[in-house]
Chains A and B, each alone.
Chain A
Amino acid sequence: MSTPDAARLFDQHHLAVFRFLRRMTGSLSLAEDLTQEVFLRVVRGIGSYQERSREISWIFRIARNVLADRHRSQARTPVDAPVHDAAALARPAVQALAIALDQALSRLPDEEREAFLMREVGGLGYREIAEASGATPDAARMRIYRARLALRQALGPSRSAAAVNPREVSK
């Protein structure tokens, strides 16, 4: 079994981890600190990495643990600070969507936001999300679906006929 190179793992995955943590915390600086903590743990734990899981899946599991430790040690800080890239915000359409998306994401329950972002930002499959979060693949699928419905409703469905009330989805 080969041991992956920590430097390569950082180069390949730090942006996805950073963006996941940024969306989860709503803070750029906190996301940066936590990203560093994630890769510190990657360096320390690289000997225990098992090839049965994908590297990205393993790293997101660590990211989730770092986030959980952070929540345990400190009360979650409500953050309303802008977390967008200045260049991107120069484009009004991007600005509107980015802000609306961030606000809608911040209103999601943690579990749904986490599963949804692991899927969309990390590219993890349902089984990988389930392993990372200690849930079942069915639960991961349902969380992502609920997140999509809630976000869709919050951002305004593109067609009113398609509007679906996420609260009607069976829990």
Chain B
Amino acid sequence: MSQDPLEVLSAFMDGEPVAPDALAAALHVPGARDALLDFAALRAGLAADDSRPSPALRRAMDGILGRRAQPVWRVLRGFAAVVVLALAALGAVSLGMRSRGPTADEPPRATRVIQFTPGVDWHEGVQR
């Protein structure tokens, strides 16, 4: 079956199998190069289409597909959980520091007071 040479180029552009001989013959046809460039330009023109559906389509489909948008209260709930955790961590650290007792730099607290009366409990200048 003989094919139109430009049809061979068209199929080749689409990645369809073409006979090497037919492709070679097609490329020798006057205007083949220009046709190939025009076909490529058409492809580029269509690829430049950046139209998008409105957000309403996605919202509708999210409902159908069972995907829900994050409601505000859910975001707030997450934020509140983070705040509670942070406060709890802060409290734990503070409690831990308090229960550790005085540090090495601080003198120990007095537990009883011992009184010495001069002349009774001790004498100045007396050697024992």
Contact = CB atoms under 8 A, between A and B. Distances in A.
Q: Do A and B bind each other?
A: yes
Nearest to A17: B53
Interface residues of B, number: 38
B60 to A, nearest CB: 6
B53 A39 contact: no
Given A32-B57, A159-B34, A148 B45 contact: no
A101 B10 contact: no
A39 B60 CA distance: 11
Given A18-B51, A164-B35, A145 B4 contact: yes
Contacts of B66: 7
Interface in A115-159: 117, 119-121, 125-126, 141-142, 144-145, 148-149, 151-152, 155, 157-159
A35 B53 contact: yes
B6 A145 contact: yes
Contact of B45 (A18, A101, A149): A101
Q: Is the interface of B mostly helix, strand, loop or mixed?
A: helix
A43 B47 CA distance: 28
A36 interface: yes
A126 B15 CA distance: 10
B4 A7 contact: no
Interface in B30-68: 30-35, 37-39, 41-43, 45-54, 56-57, 60-61, 64-67
Contacts of A101: 42, 45-46
Nearest to B16: A126
B42 A152 contact: yes
B25 interface: no
A125 B16 contact: yes
23 contacts: A7-B66, A14-B61, A35-B57, A36-B57, A36-B61, A39-B64, A85-B49, A88-B50, A97-B48, A119-B14, A141-B16, A144-B14, A148-B38, A149-B6, A152-B35, A159-B34, A161-B30, A161-B31, A162-B34, A163-B31, A164-B31, A164-B35, A169-B4
List of 3 A-B pairs having minimum Cβ-Cβ separation, nearest first:
A162-B34, A162-B31, A159-B34
Interface of A: 6-7, 10, 14-15, 18-19, 22-23, 28, 31-32, 35-36, 39-40, 43, 83-85, 87-88, 94, 97-98, 101, 117, 119-121, 125-126, 141-142, 144-145, 148-149, 151-152, 155, 157-159, 161-164, 169-170
